[in-house]
Structure 1
């Protein structure tokens, strides 16, 4: 059956617009730089979760992916380049790490700093949880500014983040803490400490990715 002229014109117009937009706003795969796609099929497949768990300071952390290769590039593009469309595939990995959630369990994202929110315009862990349909609640808040963590070891990171978070009304709540990446574990440990001090029952933590075990959480 012939395709109606109107439909053919509409298809041609959409294709022309897409081509024009690709020239003005070029798109490339966050994982491998393939042109005209935000995430190619091969890189999307590389983000299929394979959750693994580790113990950290008295609680379990489950991570969907190792923080290397495609996963690391995609997470950096999401965080550093403002490519928020990547929050959905990354959120799917986070959901796999979170696992089964009971109706009375609350998902609490690790908060971004105020400076990071101003710079990016979004909260990294919270947006991932929202795109994963995890219904996060903003029950952790920045309380102080930490120095740059990147060049610090585990003990220095722990000291650096101590006192940088405060909890909202969490007494009696069953909580799973979520974040994007676990590196040395300092930030997650501080989040869990603050929540437990405020009366929450922290069941575990979950992240999209984890660095090699030689540098255990972020």
Structure 2
């Protein structure tokens, strides 16, 4: 896992001034698209995340960064994947989750980077409103900035392949 943390850190750690989705400002940023665009590294991250999966029926990749990870995890496990929008679309099927049914199924949500978990909470609520049983989120990187606690308050367990501590341990 140390080698994977080093490779991910080297591929996607940026410094500067960044506004995060949560609205927080950070002097560093983990640009997950920089590892998601490298096939071998994406596969290695997905393999690490597969080991964290609970028993379940469906993987739900979060728009946008969780989708490539969930797709690779689906290939590795044979579990079907759905793709979760930030909000249900206002046209066509008007679904929040595209790709297959979720009603009555145990859905594990797949995310790239978790900071505070705000977007995850909204999407998990959407999945639950569509009848999915959602209790676990698996992510590639936990920035360790309150996401785990915020998710736990809504009955969601966060399992991370890598944490900010892991990524910085090799420095």
Find the counterpart in structure 2 of residue 16 from structure 1: none
Indicate the residue corresponding to 1:101 in structure 2: 55
Residue 84 of structure 1 pairs with residue 84 of structure 2: no
Q: How far apart in 1 are the matches of 2:70 and 2:111?
A: 8
**Superposition TM-score, scaled by structure 2 size:** 0.56
More strand by share: 2
Q: Report what 1:204 is aligned to.
A: 136
Are 1:46 and 2:8 matched, yes or no? no
Please tell me whether residue 193 in structure 1 is matched to residue 125 in structure 2: yes
CA offset at residue 135 of structure 1? 2.7
Q: Which residue of 2 aligns with 1:73?
A: 10
What SS does structure 1 have at the residue aligned with 2:79?
Answer: coil
Partner Cα separation in structure 2 for residue 136 and residue 174 of structure 1:
12
Of 50, 55, 63, 1:111 maps to 63
The alignment yields a C-alpha RMSD, in angstroms, of 3.4
Unpaired stretches in structure 1, ≥5 consecutive residues: 1-43, 48-67, 114-121, 146-164
The answer as to whether partners of 2:82 and 2:97 remain within 8 angstroms in 1 is: no
- Sort the Cα spacing of 1:188 and 1:78 in 2 relative to 1 into closer, same or farther, 3 A: closer
Q: How many residues align?
A: 124
Q: Which residue of 2 aligns with 1:166?
A: 96
Structure 1 residues 83-107: Cα deviation after superposition (integer angstroms, max 9, x where no partner)? 1221111011111222x424xx211
Aligned with residue 177 of structure 1, among 109, 116, 127: 109
CA contact (8 A) 2:116 2:146 kept: yes
CA contact (8 A) 2:87 2:123 kept: no
Q: TM-score, normalised by structure 1?
A: 0.46
CA distance in 2, matches of 1:95, 1:140: 19
**Cα 1:142–1:185 shift into 2, 3 Å:** closer
Larger radius of gyration: 1
SS of equivalent to 1:138:
strand
Give the helix-richer structure, 1 or 2.
Answer: 1
Residue in structure 2 matched with residue 216 of structure 1 by the alignment? 147
Classify 1:206/1:123 alpha carbon distance in 2 versus 1 (closer, same or farther; 3 Å). Answer: closer
1:92, 1:132 within 8 Å by CA — same for their partners in 2?
Answer: yes
| Alignment of structure 1 residues 2-13 onto 2, 5 Å | none
CA 143–193 in structure 1, closer or farther in 2 if over 3 Å, else same: closer
Q: Distance in 2 between matches of 1:215 and 1:69?
A: 23
Give unmatched runs, 5+ long, in structure 2.
Answer: 13-29, 90-94, 152-171
